[in-house]
Structures are given as structure tokens and as C-alpha cells.
Amino acid sequence: MAATLQIPTNPLAPKSFGAASNPPNTIVEARQTAILAIQSIEGLALQHGMLPVTLLRESCSPDAERLIRKLGRVPYVADPWLPVSTIGPLLVMAHHNPRAGDLWGVPHFLTIRVLVTPEQYQNTRKDLVQRFGQMPISQSNAMEQLQPPVFADLGLEGTFQWLLERYPYEPAEITKLKGFYEAQKGKTETLGVTHFNVVQRNMGIALQHLVSGCRTLVYSATEAQRQTFFPIPLLERHNVYPLYIGKQVVFLLSESADCYAFEDEWLSMGNPSVKIVPVLADLASIREAINRAGATFDPSAVASMDGTTLSVADDASVVEISPEDMARINPQNPNHEPEQLVQWALFTAIRCRASDLHLEKFYSFTRFRARMDGTMKTIMTAPESQLNRYVALLKNYAGMSQNRQECQDGRMALSIGRRRVDVRVAAVPTRREFQKVIMRFLDKQDGVKRLSDFNLSQRQVDILTRTMQRDQGLVLVTGPTGSGKTTTLYALLNSVNDESVNIQTIEDPIEYEIEGINQTQTNNARGLDFANGLRSLLRADPDIILIGESRDAETAGAAVNASLTGHLVLTTLHANDSLRAVSRLLSMGVEKYLLADSLALSQAQRLARRLCSYCKQPMQAPQDVQDLMAKQAVITQPITTPIYTARGCDECHGTGYAGRVALMELCEVNNELRDLIEEGAPLSAMRAAAFKNGYRSLYQEGLQQVIGGHTSLDEIKCLSYTAM
């Protein structure tokens, strides 16, 4: 028997407050209902201790959808609370009536109820009718019978353990959460909100909500709408972001309940006083929301400039960029100075989370192209005559010569409010004495990731944890340029970074500075290359050594020898997949028996574009796709949950993608593989042995990410050559 959510026969009829299953039945209740009906949404929110929200998506998030499908329970009332997203283990439910009833069988203490407009409620409900209309009817589910303990007595850690025992997590999820919890526990005796946010995004604030008796208002900043009311620099200085701006009240997302400094500065700017209601949120999510709010550009912008003079900043090492000034720049205006337009292009690229920015000639135009989520987008064009002015300015910033026929490398730093971004600059000559400038952004604020930030399977977590606990061995991370190899290595180092371990690195260049780790920069002019630097580091009593890249036979040989003398050595290598890395090292002159004894883990990595979480479109996996997944041994039974395709919205600039997800192919070297390496066995034999040991190819990992709803089939088609 199928059940559907009921839609009123007359949607234009006035709506009464109160759930259909629990209508008001007294004159007092009717009077209260009438009063509430004329109040603003923020007034209702304050009265009932809830949050007013303008939904970014008028649909159910993938995490919320998975939980609802797992429970298999549909509401029986006409106007139930609607599941829209999750905050850690808590389900976010939306309604326009704070006194509505049915919560889809989810215990009230495991929900966060938010208020939306009636229009948004109706739009969201139509989407849910389409998604869940054919779900089987269930009288109850396991969560309905849960009785809440006194979370205040349990504290954060006790509440976390209670959830592991009673929340409907999958066994693999429980193991993963326990692993990250133990890693944090090993670093700090008493865990706070921030530590649990590392275990799982928003886990800490969800626990705080439960421990406070649901009095602490919490929300995920990644679900907040873009805003233009507060200046971005002001939000950056205080690490806050508005969730909802009412007539008299601002619900402000903050890392703590103390927003007095923000309020004081806001008043000192001559603004009227407003009531600030703090809403606890994960700091990383707040920063993500701030960056997203400023990530706007006009791809059709064309700057038509006349022959103005070139002005160059006096400080060539640090370029100060004012967000307030950038907000007033229109690249189509011909009256802007070249320096202003160059800074606008840099500022816009960073706001759009670009990894690189290219300045180049294109037909009769000059264009700035930014690499966003792995693809190139034009953010500004100008007449060809402006190219040399822009190039000269950027070279001056980076401390480079103005010689047009010389390939050069330089470096500069951008200071944007309180944000510091290092930029690697390369200039190469092109035809007709033109030049191209390539800038790589190294964002200090967003650089060092945690293993919990990656979409790792339990198998991958176990392998990486086991590897980093070794006292010696060689760890290879392979992949093409820009595949996130260095980011992964930093995350691995960060997972074991404590006072009991001496970690030494030699890099070219040092991309991100990590506290507690000794980092060394190569200097070829002084004879400090990877090979010489590694020999010096061995005398510094290291436990773990990171070599930025094994570029030649000497460095590769030194890395292998270091791993055999009681050190865990991590390095990168250019190879197509994890097993071909073995052939690459052998071709560089490393002896077979040495490589067999030293190699602990070989990892290949690629970056696929992540589907925009606000607009990705669910679809049933076609039969041919399921057949492909079955052939690749990714599934053993038909997929019942939807997969997703790109659609496009304002948040992702119409691309359907926002951010990237790492695909990791991990090959842990066991005794059988060691024997094959020492024998010089063919690649096919090593691959067969690896698959027997649980190895998954890049293509298989990509298909797994498709099933998880993180990327699309189109994004992983290019990896089919790595299939079984």
C-alpha cells in the first residue's frame, strides 16, 4: 500500500494554525492563534524559541533524505513538519506554523525546528510529495521509542556515546566516528565543541544543543542565504554571519554566544541598534558562508579602458586589497585604473574559490581566466592593448624582471581584510613578444585539511590510520598536477601531529605553515635540493619525514633508504595510478628488493567536481548504470536510493557543481605484493594480487562517490581506463 502526503484541495483557502491531528479546541487557544497569525516570522521565532530561516533549497538534502528513507515512516497529517537538512545527527524540520504536530516519527529532541514562509513551505512540500509519495506505511520506527536521558549530566562526550549506541548509524559510520573520536581524544583529555566538529562537521554544535536542553540555538552556516546587508570585512573580522535579518532582530551565526564585539563595531559605524540573537555554528562553515557571499562575478564583463598611466604599489611583497574598494569597482567602467582592475580580478578569483588565475591574450582581447573546481572560467576581459600593463603590474608585485622573453617564477602575498593568501606567480613568453602570467593561490585560511573533511570510506580510514601508526616505511601519493597530493599529505601529517612525534619536511615551496611541524624550504642557489636536504634532515632525529616531490633518481633513492632506517617517509610522485608508481620508481633506478622492503602504501588521487548541494537533482539509477556498477563489483544488489545529476543554481553560478571531492585509490602493500615487486612481476599480476587484498581502482572509488551523492557519472567517465 502506498501513501502520499495530502495536499489541500483549495490551496488559496486561509490556513489555520495547529496540526490537523491536534487542532485548537478552546477559546484561549483560538485567541493565541489569532495573535500569532499577525506577528512577523521573527516574532514567532522568538516567542517559540525557534529559528526563522529563508530556505536555500526548497527540497530535502541528501543526508536528510537518507535518514527519512531509512526510517520508512510517513506522516499522517495534512501539514507535517518537513525534513530539509541535517546538523550532525539532528534533523532540521521546517514549517510556517510553530504549533504544528507530526515530525515524521523523529523524536522531538533529535530535531531542530525552523520557521519558513507559507510559500516556501508549500514549495518544499510539493518536492517531498514527489520524493516520498511511494514510501511504505510504517506504524512506527526505532527512533520513535527513544527516551532522552538527561544530556546535561552526560556532557558532550557522554551524549556522543549515547548517540553511537542508540542513533540509527550504519556500522561503518559508527566505526569511522569512533576512529576520529579516539584521534581527538589522544590529543586532548577534555573535548569541546570545536573538537567534535572535527570528528564530524557540525557534530559539536549538535551535541551542545542537546546538552543545553535544546536552549542553545544552533544551525549550519552552509545553509545560510547570501546577504548584502552587513559588509563582508566586518563579518570576516568577527567570524560571524547573519542567518536571518528581520525588522528588529538579527539571528547571527557565531562560534560562541558572545557577539558583543561585533555589535559594538556595528554601532560605532553609525548604524541603528538591533537585537542580536546568537546562533551557534561551526567556524569552518561560517567562513565558508562568508566566502560564498562574496563569490560573485560577471563572466561577460568587458573593461574598455583608455590610455591611463600605470601605478605600481610600493610594497612588492604584500598587496593590500580592500574589500570595500573592490565592491565599488565595475569592470565595464572605462575610468578604472589598471591596478584597480588587476586587484579586482585577484579578489574575485579568491572569492570564487579559484585555485589558479591566468592572464593571457585571447584573439584581440586580454582575459583573466580562473580555475574554479577544476574548470576554467573567464572573469574579466579587456582590450589587447592592456595586456602588457597588467603583466608589468603583476611582475612588479611578484618581484620579477620585466624581461618579456624570460621564463620566471615569483611570489607575492595578498592581504584581504584579515585574510592572507600567498600567491605563486609564473610568467612565460608567448608568440609576438606577448606574455602569459599564471597565479596559484595558497589560502592560509582554508589550506590544511583534516582527514574527516574527506569523504573516506571505513576501509580507507583504517588503511590511512594503520599506515600513519607505522614506525617506518614509504608512503607514495601519486597523481597529476593539481590533484590535491600536497593537501592529502598535510592532512596525514596533521592527523599525527602532537608533541610526541618529531615531524620534518622539505618542500619546494612550503605551501602551508603548520604549527608543531618543522618545515624546510629548498634553495637550489645554495645547494639545498631535495636529496641534500633529506640527508641533513636525517641528522635532525625525525620520526616522520615529508619530501615534497621525488623528482629524480637521487631523491627517490634517498627516500627509500630513509624509510629503511627507521623513518616513516611521505612523498609525492607523478604516476597514473597507485601500482604504476611502482614501475615509475623502478625505472628511476630504485632496486627492486629495496622498494619491496620499504613501500608501505601507494595512493593515487584525482579530484572530481562536487555536485552543488543546493540544486543537485535526484534520479533513479538507470539499469545500464546499475549493470556497470555490478560489473565493477561496486554493488551486489539493486540501488534503491537515488543518484544525483547536476542542474545549476545561483549558488554554483549555474554550473551544477561547487567544490571538489577527492577520489583516493589506496594500495596497501602486503607480503604477496612485496614478493611480486621483488620478482619484477608484470603489472597485471600485481593488480590481481591487490584486488584479492581489497584494492579498489579510481573508477570504482568514483562510482562509490556517485552512489553517495557527491559527484555525477559524467565526472568520473574519464577514469574508466583504471577500471578492472
Q: DSSP of 225-253, one letter per residue? A: PP--SS-HHHHHHHTEEEEEE-SSEEEEE
Using the CB atoms, write b or e for 390-411: b if 16+ within 10 Å: bbbbbbbbbebeeeeeeebebb
Identify whether the C-beta of residue 593 lies closer than 8 Å to the C-beta of residue 701.
no
| Residue 28 pLDDT greater than 60, yes or no | no
pLDDT at residue 39 in the model: 64
Which of 172-181, 262-271, 309-318, 471-480 has the lowest average pLDDT? 309-318
Q: Rounded CA gap, 624 and 409, in Å?
A: 49
Question: Which whole number is the average pLDDT over 683-695?
Answer: 92
What does the pLDDT look like over 265-292, one tens digit per residue?
Answer: 998 988 888 889 999 999 988 988 887 8
Higher pLDDT, 446 or 701: 701
| Residue 648 pLDDT greater than 70, yes or no | yes
pLDDT at residue 651 in the model: 79
pLDDT at residue 132 in the model: 75
Q: What percent of the chain has pLDDT over 70?
A: 89
pLDDT at residue 530 in the model: 84
CB atoms within 10 A of CB 444: 14
Q: Rounded CA gap, 61 and 68, in Å?
A: 11
Q: Rounded CA gap, 151 and 390, in Å?
A: 60
Question: Which whole number is the average pLDDT over 620-626?
Answer: 90
- Name the nearest CA neighbour of 88 among 16, 12, 193, 184: 193
> Does an H or E element contain 293, and which?
helix 283-293
Instruction: Band the pLDDT of 308: cuts 50, 70, 90.
Output: very low
> Does an H or E element contain 424, and which?
strand 419-429
Identify whether the C-beta of residue 97 lies closer than 8 Å to the C-beta of residue 163.
no
pLDDT at residue 664 in the model: 94
Strand pairing category for 473-478 and 599-611 = parallel
Identify whether the C-beta of residue 428 lies closer than 8 Å to the C-beta of residue 407.
yes
Rg over CA atoms, the chain? 28
| Residue 688 pLDDT greater than 80, yes or no | yes
CA quadruple 420, 441, 510, 507: dihedral, nearest 10: 170
pLDDT at residue 392 in the model: 93
Strand order in the sheet with 365-372: 318-321, 408-416, 419-429, 435-443, 356-362, 365-372, 375-383
Higher pLDDT, 433 or 205: 205
Question: Which whole number is the average pLDDT over 497-513?
Answer: 86
Grid cell locating 678: 621483488
Question: Which whole number is the average pLDDT over 583-605?
Answer: 93
Residue type, 607: L
| Residue 341 pLDDT greater than 80, yes or no | yes
Instruction: Band the pLDDT of 368: cuts 50, 70, 90.
Output: very high
pLDDT at residue 435 in the model: 93
Q: Rounded CA gap, 316 and 332, in Å?
A: 27
- Name the nearest CA neighbour of 57 among 611, 659, 706, 704: 611
Question: Which whole number is the average pLDDT over 438-452?
Answer: 78
CA distances from 546 to 448, 520, 567, 583, 607 (A): 15, 10, 10, 21, 22
Q: Where are the beta strands (DSSP E) in 495-581?
A: 503-507, 518-521, 544-547, 568-573
CA pseudo-torsion sign 250, 253, 259, 261: negative
Question: Which whole number is the average pLDDT over 605-609?
Answer: 92
Identify whether the C-beta of residue 714 lies closer than 8 Å to the C-beta of residue 642.
no
Strand pairing category for 419-429 and 408-416 = antiparallel
Q: Is 7 helix (H, G, I), strand (E, B) or coil?
A: coil
Identify whether the C-beta of residue 712 lies closer than 8 Å to the C-beta of residue 646.
yes
pTM of the model: 0.74
Q: Rounded CA gap, 634 and 626, in Å?
A: 9
pLDDT at residue 426 in the model: 93
Higher pLDDT, 611 or 450: 611
Give long-range contacts, CB 8 A cutoff, 24+ apart: 150-154.
Answer: 151/210, 151/211, 151/213, 152/211, 152/212, 152/213, 154/211
Higher pLDDT, 289 or 475: 475
CB atoms within 10 A of CB 654: 13
Average pLDDT, rounded, for the chain = 84
| Residue 575 pLDDT greater than 70, yes or no | yes
| Residues written for the chain | 724
| Residue 1 pLDDT greater than 80, yes or no | no
What does the pLDDT look like over 129-154, one tens digit per residue?
Answer: 877 765 555 556 767 778 899 999 99
Q: Report DSSP letters for 298-309, one per residue.
A: -TT-B-----PP
- Map grid coordinates 618542500 to a residue: 507
Strand order in the sheet with 51-52: 51-52, 111-115, 90-95, 82-87
| Residue 79 pLDDT greater than 90, yes or no | no
pLDDT at residue 220 in the model: 93
**Most confidently modeled of 196-205, 225-234, 290-299?**
196-205
pLDDT at residue 137 in the model: 53
CB atoms within 10 A of CB 248: 12
Q: Rounded CA gap, 310 and 393, in Å?
A: 8
What does the pLDDT look like over 546-565, one tens digit per residue?
Answer: 998 888 888 899 899 999 98
| Residue 312 pLDDT greater than 70, yes or no | no
Identify whether the C-beta of residue 345 lies closer than 8 Å to the C-beta of residue 301.
no
Grid cell locating 683: 603489472
